[in-house]
Amino acid sequence: MLIDKGISPGEVITIKLTSSEELIAKLIEDQPEYYKVSKPMVIAMGQKGPGLIPYLFTVDPDKSINIKKSTVILAEPTEKDFADQFLQSTTGIKLV
């Protein structure tokens, strides 16, 4: 049986919102009322399949944001392939 370790600061996580949006972001803090995340991205379908686009277009992309837990259905670690794609998109570093 696997033990679910939950999510930890520094990890790339997936957040499903009550609005049905699915976000991928780096978790900065897990507070009782909110998740503080950086570089939130939304999964969107493109011509080549799923891809990532910025969640907020009019906010400084380097600013951390708080997402109220009352708007969250779930928060889990992101599957490795998507986490790698997120890291490549947000850092410019190509992972091997």
- Domain residue ranges in the chain: 12-91
pLDDT tens digit sequence for 22-78: 999 999 999 999 999 999 999 888 888 888 889 999 999 889 999 999 999 999 999
Q: Which pTM does this prediction carry?
A: 0.86
Rg of the chain's alpha carbons, rounded to an integer? 13
27, 9 Cβ separation under 8 angstroms: yes
How far is it, in rounded angstroms, from Cα 1 to Cα 24? 27
Q: List alpha helices for 1-96, DSSP H.
A: 80-91
Please identify which residue in the block is written with the tokens 């780096």: 26
What pLDDT shows up at residue 6?
84
36, 65 Cβ separation under 8 angstroms: yes
What is the topology classification, in CATH, of domain 12-91?
SH3 type barrels. (2.30.30)
pLDDT tens digit sequence for 62-92: 899 999 999 999 999 999 988 988 888 888 7
Residue 57 three-state SS: coil
